[in-house]
Structure 1
Amino acid sequence: MLNTPPSITPTISFRATCARALLYILIIGAMMQGVLWETGLPEKIRFSEVGFTESMQTLWLLISCLLLIYARQVLGGLPRVTLLMFGLLGAALIREQDAFLDAYVFDGAWQTLVTLLLLPILYCVLRQRHAFVREFEEFVESFAFGLFAAGFLCTFAFSRLYGRSEMWEALLAERYVRVFKDAAEEVTELFGYTLLMFAMVELVLWIRRRQARSQ
């Protein structure tokens, strides 16, 4: 009978899982307290580009991009998968600055920057698509991928549908005020970005565990 090599699939201890779960809950709780604080601000600031919620969206995206750079350039893990994720989250980070870029650079600046970021990344990934698929098949088995998928769907699918003006106008009728719609969409989007940031933390830890077990 042939001996099969031992699996090097990285595992997470129960204690570490509980500790990280508690940390993530505390972060979410603190974040939602910030959202509650924002509801008391003047109407022109609440859930605007300069408000707490959108500022936190930018912060989570920035942290996520920095973690991806660390995972790819320092740890050298999943170079093609992390490159594509960096393109997606980097594009979202640029998109969140659309008002500033349109006002202080030029109208449509964010679309130009997103195009300049994504086109070379997509070209590189497509050129190495077979290696990308192999990396993706490894990544899809991880907890980090589950968080990433949940965050991606929450941010780019659910929040857009949940924040539709038509639904809130029908729900609130004559009591409709735009801030309800803005709050629903932006807070849901913030939660999605939070999950994506957690996913990048888990990705870095997963890559480090894999490297430690393969040595």
Structure 2
Amino acid sequence: MLKKTIKPSTKGFKTAIIRFIVYGAIVYIAAEFLKWNVKHETGQSKFTEDSMVEAVQSMILLTCSLIYLRVSFKYKSMFPLSFGLFAFTFASLIREQDALLDEHIYDGAWQTAAFSLLILAAILIYRKRAVFLSNMNDFVSKFSFGILLSGIFTTYIFARLYGRKVFWMAVMEAQYTRDVKNVSEESLELFGYTLILIASVEFYYFAKAHHTMAVRGNEETVNQPNVYLKVGS
């Protein structure tokens, strides 16, 4: 008797290769941009609040925010989680504009705007906490979640500690130069934001697949015959 052989699928391997090429290219572009930027900025303008690096970081955060906001309204089953992620990235964008907001509105304006948005998100998540927890149960095992955590740890924890003045003064001692500290810290932050961008793209496809499965499940439930009907009723 011939045994039926199961041909292994190469779909997962192909997806991994595509991810490696596309996301590797994005990271490469970010590194090349840093090299280009440091060559074209001179004097005291290297990686300051008005630098191109800061502008690109803001553009990345804006892109992530728009992706999460689109998911929030396009795939309603993912609303609590996607809106929470939108609030997080948009609050980070507001934080990046702190100098501009403090100068043109009032001192501390960014705190008011950012925390107001986060509080709104917290209220919406609490009101839909059952859906949020269900979303999180599905999300934590996905590629997007791991990349998102990597980006958050890189940008909001490691880069902040790595960029401490006391550390760089110990490294360079009498040759301490603030520009070197800024370049190093902001470069690491840009890499972290790049990871968060990749995570947001992956989240969009995760939400799309999640929504498709939810719709398919609902259709199967509606089309399932009622087995509780009595015979001859």
- Both proteins in one fold, TM over 0.5: yes
Higher mean alpha-carbon deviation, 35-44 vs 125-134, is at: 125-134
User: Does 1:20 pair with 2:19?
Assistant: yes
Q: Provide the rounded CA distance (Å) in 1 between the counterparts of 2:158 and 2:43.
A: 25
Higher mean alpha-carbon deviation, 66-75 vs 90-99, is at: 66-75
Higher mean alpha-carbon deviation, 109-118 vs 128-137, is at: 128-137
Higher mean alpha-carbon deviation, 19-28 vs 57-66, is at: 19-28
3-state SS of the aligned residue for 1:39? Answer: helix
Q: Size of the alignment, in residue pairs?
A: 204
Change (3 A) 1:152 1:77: farther
Residue number in structure 2 paired with 1:194: 194
Assess if the C-alpha contact under 8 Å between 2:64 and 2:89 holds in 1: yes
Residue number in structure 2 paired with 1:55: 55
Shift of residue 97 of structure 1? 0.6
Q: Provide the rounded CA distance (Å) in 1 between the counterparts of 2:211 and 2:127.
A: 26
Residue number in structure 2 paired with 1:138: 138
> Bigger relative contact order, structure 1 or 2, given CA contacts below 8 A and separation 6+?
1
Assess if the C-alpha contact under 8 Å between 1:71 and 1:77 holds in 2: no
Higher mean alpha-carbon deviation, 177-186 vs 195-204, is at: 177-186
- 1:116-135 to 2 correspondences below 5 Å: 116-135=116-135
**Paired amino acid for 1:33:** E
Change (3 A) 1:62 1:77: farther
3-state SS of the aligned residue for 1:44? Answer: helix
Assess if the C-alpha contact under 8 Å between 1:35 and 1:52 holds in 2: no
Q: Provide the rounded CA distance (Å) in 1 between the counterparts of 2:77 and 2:66.
A: 14
Shift of residue 76 of structure 1? 2.7
**Paired amino acid for 2:198:** F
Q: Provide the rounded CA distance (Å) in 2 between the counterparts of 1:170 and 1:205.
A: 45
3-state SS of the aligned residue for 2:121? Answer: helix
Assess if the C-alpha contact under 8 Å between 2:147 and 2:198 holds in 1: yes
Structure 1 unmatched ranges of 5 or more: 1-11
Residue number in structure 1 paired with 2:97: 97
Q: Provide the rounded CA distance (Å) in 1 between the counterparts of 2:145 and 2:191.
A: 16
Residue number in structure 2 paired with 1:30: 29
Shift of residue 187 of structure 1? 1.0
| Deviation beyond 4 Å, 4+ runs, structure 1 | none
Structure 2 unmatched ranges of 5 or more: 1-10, 217-233
- 1:146-161 to 2 correspondences below 5 Å: 146-161=146-161
1:40-94: CA deviation from partner (whole Å, max 9, x where unpaired):
2112321012212111110110110011011111133421111111111111000
TM-score by length of 1: 0.89
Q: Provide the rounded CA distance (Å) in 1 between the counterparts of 2:145 and 2:26.
A: 20
Q: Provide the rounded CA distance (Å) in 2 between the counterparts of 1:174 and 1:72.
A: 52
TM-score by length of 2: 0.82
Q: Provide the rounded CA distance (Å) in 1 between the counterparts of 2:96 and 2:204.
A: 24
- 1:154-193 to 2 correspondences below 5 Å: 154-193=154-193
Residue number in structure 1 paired with 2:229: none
Q: Provide the rounded CA distance (Å) in 1 between the counterparts of 2:110 and 2:150.
A: 26
Higher mean alpha-carbon deviation, 57-66 vs 132-141, is at: 132-141
Change (3 A) 1:139 1:75: same
Change (3 A) 1:51 1:77: farther
Higher mean alpha-carbon deviation, 169-178 vs 13-22, is at: 13-22
**Paired amino acid for 2:19:** R
Residue number in structure 1 paired with 2:38: 39
Change (3 A) 1:154 1:71: same
Identity of aligned residues (%): 31
